[in-house]
Structure 1
């Protein structure tokens, strides 16, 4: 019996999706939804860094034990075979990919969901810039090498423009430029950077919303050369 596909399912048919941050809260939700609802997709590629002595593969197996993946295991266990995991990290150039893994990602990916981020509201600025801003820059660099890229979706936050009483679907200008902050974080020592952080952040309450705002500008600046999309969930 032929099953009619919804417009969303039809779009994802035979597509390969690459996800950063798949082990995070939103990443797990996305991965589960894609596997459960878009059964005709070709492959989902995720990257994961080793943590507390556990390999990327071990962390994925542990993730599958969470309740969110139970209905897939019960109803569509074959979909888990469509997931490919590579050891990777957005704090490394080329996301830590190299050789065959980089080739597989760049030659096969159609859609990128860049969801990796540090959510530490009170974290230091250097870490926030490296993860949320430079990490986005690294993800964009890999996406530029993709031969069949149709969309690069950057997961932002509804709180990145907290100085706006009403936030519209546009990227707001900001006095600070992403590349300037990246260079500053590279050469300035942590103590000095921590000292000037309160003045840099204004009107932002923390390094998270500040770095995510700059990341939006970075993504926006690629729109003429890449099919980029910015999504702003309200919980982040």
Structure 2
């Protein structure tokens, strides 16, 4: 990556330096460094930018671990093996800063804020809650308010060259085509932040009742707050050099530092794991449907290159980039399912419950029937066997399955009734 140029010379618009040259002597601030994408980004900076000055990583104490202990733990994985083997001195450039992006003002000590303001020249903001079902107040606090607070801190940075905010391709999920520009948000972001912060403290029940109204066209609090954060970044673009990168569904690394690195079960990985273990046997999905996947290392290279472009651009409207495959190397869900089956046959999981045999269907009735026989009934049998052998049954799993089945049936019945009414009312 050190030799990569952001643009080709044939276009006549090249950066005046390589990535490694740009980061020579620069200090970087990274939020979300303990996450999947954040760790891969951290590894890239340490390995490919040997002359980088300092990388500050914002972390909070968690589960009885101090921030120093957490930093040691997040580095103690195979992802950083080549850094330890080939550039061990790079690890000395890491500095951990205690902070919490879910708290007002990032819960950052003033002494630490002064150090960051004096030294940092590039900011990567990756910290976010990626849960789709977060309460509105939590999602706004973590994804939107934290972005505002970090931008306020960035206004104090005297050496700042680039502020890169990592968003998501799907923050405008109602658009049929995604262009590299900002789309309208459902209301003014200042009013929304003020409302959520005030109501969340005074009457969280009322806020939950207003959530659907506040979300507008967005289907969940995650996409809504990520869209909100983009407009907050835009608001600061006349004072700060800013850019926005929108990754799609991030998968394990493709090549760099080695194929297949992942440290979580977000997105499709949990479903693949469940199917590979023989626990999940049916999905309500379309075999011919495309989902936009991007390997993590490819997305991270785009994030790093965005910082270089932002530094070259300077002030002005934020540069917006999609880290997505688009029409390149597309794969259908059916093809992905077939590849997964072949991989499981070649390299089976340990401790499998049953032979992997996952079926994708877009027939609602067939899905519910398969769900009943392949998921619900086996779960009841397993609970009965656990009880019979004196072990603790997993009743919470049964309740979850029953709840899911109930809502699926209600959805299917409602959809069938509405479809019939539509035919009766609008038939010629």
Normalised by the shorter chain, which TM-score bucket? over 0.9
- Cα distance in 1 for partners of 2:249, 2:150 equals 23
- Cα distance in 2 for partners of 1:92, 1:126 equals 12
SS at match of 2:222: helix
SS at match of 1:183: helix
Mapping of residues 42-57 of structure 1, within 5 Å = 42-57=53-68
- Cα distance in 1 for partners of 2:75, 2:205 equals 41
The residue aligned with 1:20 is 31
1:214 aligns with one of 205, 222, 228:
228
- Cα distance in 2 for partners of 1:158, 1:204 equals 13
- Cα distance in 1 for partners of 2:245, 2:114 equals 27
The residue aligned with 1:161 is 172
- Cα distance in 1 for partners of 2:165, 2:152 equals 13
Mapping of residues 112-191 of structure 1, within 5 Å = 112-188=123-199, 189-191=203-205
Runs of 4 or more above 6 Å deviation: none
SS at match of 1:159: helix
2:22 aligns with one of 11, 30, 34:
11
Provide Cα deviations, 1:124-170, integer angstroms capped at 9, x if missing partner.
Answer: 00000001010001000110110110011011000101111111111
The residue aligned with 1:223 is 237
User: What is the root-mean-square deviation in Å for CA atoms of aligned residues?
Assistant: 1.4
SS at match of 1:13: coil
Provide Cα deviations, 1:50-86, integer angstroms capped at 9, x if missing partner.
Answer: 0011111100101111121111111111100000001
Q: How many residues align?
A: 233
Out of 118-127 and 88-97, give the one that drifted further: 88-97
SS at match of 1:147: coil
The residue aligned with 2:102 is 91
The residue aligned with 1:64 is 75
Out of 181-190 and 80-89, give the one that drifted further: 181-190
Unaligned runs of 5+ in 1: none
- Cα distance in 2 for partners of 1:196, 1:186 equals 13
For normalisation by structure 1, the TM-score amounts to 0.94
- Structure 1 residue 95, shift from structure 2 partner: 2.2
Out of 86-95 and 209-218, give the one that drifted further: 86-95
Unaligned runs of 5+ in 2: 5-17, 251-428
- Structure 1 residue 5, shift from structure 2 partner: 6.2
- Structure 1 residue 235, shift from structure 2 partner: 2.1
Structure of higher RCO (CA pairs closer than 8 Å, 6+ residues apart):
1
SS at match of 1:232: strand
Q: Given that residues 233 and 242 in structure 2 are in contact (C-alpha distance below 8 angstroms), is that contact kept between their aligned partners in structure 1?
A: yes
The residue aligned with 1:196 is 210
Structure whose CA Rg is larger = 2
The residue aligned with 1:32 is 43
